[in-house]
Structure 1
Amino acid sequence: MRVGVIDYGVGNLGSVLRALEELRVAPVLVNRAVDMHATDCLILPGVGNFADCTSLLQAGGWIEALRQEVSGYGRPLLGICVGMQLLADASTEGTDEGRGTPGLGFIPGRVEHLRMLGCGLRVPHVGWNSITRHGAADPLFDGIPDGTDFYFVHSYAFVPQDPTSVLATADYGTAVTAAVRRGHIWGTQFHPEKSSRAGFRLLRNFIESPKC
């Protein structure tokens, strides 16, 4: 199993790689877009600013290559934190009011600041929070009970256009999308690689998914 971790110049690469190694998986650090084709599935990390991440993806030739691998060849993809937000059509982060920075467009929807979504609590949302699962059972959460805590660090949240894309939410002064899926594309707002046993189980579930 060749699990590619995309290195486009940002992200929690070290902790993601260590988590995969703990699962006895030999991860492949992918630092050239062309090398994605030699993997079985892909993990897209992300930290920081959405607009900065998209600029790095664009500069490295990742955007069209990702679309080809994921949409064209059906390569399974897991986006983590900002990596999940990048799956959306656009984000308001790092742009003027009313405008948006385009995302990858894999899962229709927009990324909005927590305040705009009605959150009255301290922002950013940092720390452990429990998740509530939605819809039919999904293999990403096999063996993970509803109400399990995961580790979050974010100020923006993904609002999918289709509510059925939401696998789980967390309550942080408002319902925050915690996990999404569309076909062979998944995303988690929380950091599974920092979420102890439950996070490791989620990563294993992704790797062992029939789509991977």
Structure 2
Amino acid sequence: MIGIVDYNAGNIKSVERALLSLNANFILSKKPSELENCERLIVPGVGEAKYAMEQFKKTGFDSFLKDWAKSKKPMLGICLGSQIVFEHSEEGDVDCLGLLKGEIKLFNTVWKEEGKNPGLKVPQIGWNDLNFANGGSKLLEGVPEHSDFYFVHSYLIQPEDKTIVKAWVDYGTQVPACVESENITVFQCHPEKSGKCGLQVLKNFING
């Protein structure tokens, strides 16, 4: 059974539709207790990091997700769900779950730190092609390198350990698109909105 964390942070319907198209068994819940017995967990989300963390603390999902990470059961984060597993986000200047070491920074912050002025619009909205790194991810099996995935984001993951980046895209800098460490895999892009290749990612997650 797949569990989907519902914390009022958008894009959940599109994840549900994608899983239904794959005939996956899943449960969507706002209550951690209803997801405890699931085998795998999806943390979706579109919105602000500070709001997400407020919702997690109100519902108990903050401690639930920390315990889940320790359990070594698979977790998949999507978009905002990929960012809040790290330690801190510039978006709202908020401490996040800290499951992985690193920060979430605004594109403009990263460009400035790198001495770049690419003249690109923020947020990044649209399709971009994946470049695999560090051996790729098990969830990218069956997905050709340079496949296009759909992105909508203003902030990007800056992991402390660069070897956990399994795919990246070029948007004025190398943007981590897939990060994986042990049982935690997160995608900055939206697999559920990325056509056949995105569905393959979700299928790989479902099938383990």
**TM-score range normalised by the length of the shorter chain:** over 0.9
Aligned to 1:32: 31
Q: Secondary structure at the match of 2:109?
A: helix
CA contact 1:126–1:153 (8 Å) conserved in 2: yes
TM-score by length of 1: 0.92
Aligned to 1:143: 142
What is the Cα deviation at residue 48 of structure 1?
1.0
Aligned-residue sequence identity (percent) comes to 37
* Distance (whole Å) between structure 2 residues aligned to residue 12 and residue 157 of structure 1: 18
Aligned to 2:108: 115
Amino acid at match of 1:81: C
CA deviation string 1:109-155 (max 9, x = no partner): 00000111115310000000001010114211101111000000000
Aligned to 2:115: none
CA contact 1:7–1:30 (8 Å) conserved in 2: yes
TM-score by length of 2: 0.94
* Distance (whole Å) between structure 1 residues aligned to residue 107 and residue 192 of structure 2: 23
User: Superposition RMSD on alpha carbons, in Å?
Assistant: 1.0
Query: 2:180 matched to 1:187?
Result: no
* Distance (whole Å) between structure 2 residues aligned to residue 7 and residue 137 of structure 1: 29
Q: Secondary structure at the match of 1:116?
A: helix
CA contact 2:30–2:59 (8 Å) conserved in 1: no
Matches within 5 A, 1:94-105: 94-95=92-93, 101-105=94-98
Aligned to 1:74: 72
Matches within 5 A, 1:171-182: 171-182=170-181
Q: Give structure 2 stretches of 5+ with no counterpart.
A: 112-117
* Distance (whole Å) between structure 2 residues aligned to residue 86 and residue 133 of structure 1: 23
Aligned to 2:114: none
Matches within 5 A, 1:1-212: 2-71=1-70, 73-95=71-93, 101-118=94-111, 120-209=119-208
Runs of at least 4 residues of structure 1 off by over 2 A?
none
CA contact 2:24–2:206 (8 Å) conserved in 1: no
Q: Secondary structure at the match of 2:122?
A: coil
Q: Secondary structure at the match of 1:38?
A: coil
Q: Give structure 1 stretches of 5+ with no counterpart.
A: 96-100
Total equivalences in the alignment: 202
What is the Cα deviation at residue 30 of structure 1?
2.1
CA contact 1:36–1:69 (8 Å) conserved in 2: no
CA contact 2:3–2:35 (8 Å) conserved in 1: yes
Amino acid at match of 1:194: K
